[in-house]
Amino acid sequence: MIAPDPLVTRALLRRGAFLWVGTRVLFGFASLLTAGVFGSPSIGVAPHTAIGLACLVGVLGLLEARRRNEHLFLANLGVSQWPIWLISVLPALLGECLIALAIQW
């Protein structure tokens, strides 16, 4: 497994951060809409939900790379799709950890 070039890695990290913010906002709106039925909404989520959200962001990052045909470019350089997924997951995991620490503090 070969890591992509730092320029490509920064682009994937930035895209993963935007995807995480977008999915977090969508999940926030969904929790606000269901708050009337299930009780008050909360900012934090359970650990398994945070990991699932991070995996969803990784899949969205991989799909975005495929939509832009970057996976073909990276495959020609010897980079498989796993590093694309892992790099897309990193901002989401970091963000979820920071939210969990901020809630506990």
Q: Where are the domains of the chain?
A: 6-104
The predicted pLDDT at position 74 comes to 86
The predicted pLDDT at position 44 comes to 67
Burial 52-82 (b: 16+ CB within 10 A, else e): ebbebbbebbbebbeeeebbeebeeeebeee
The predicted pLDDT at position 94 comes to 95
pLDDT along the chain (105 residues), means of 10: 80 95 89 74 76 94 92 86 92 93 84
| Tokens describing residue 60 | 């969205």
The predicted pLDDT at position 15 comes to 95
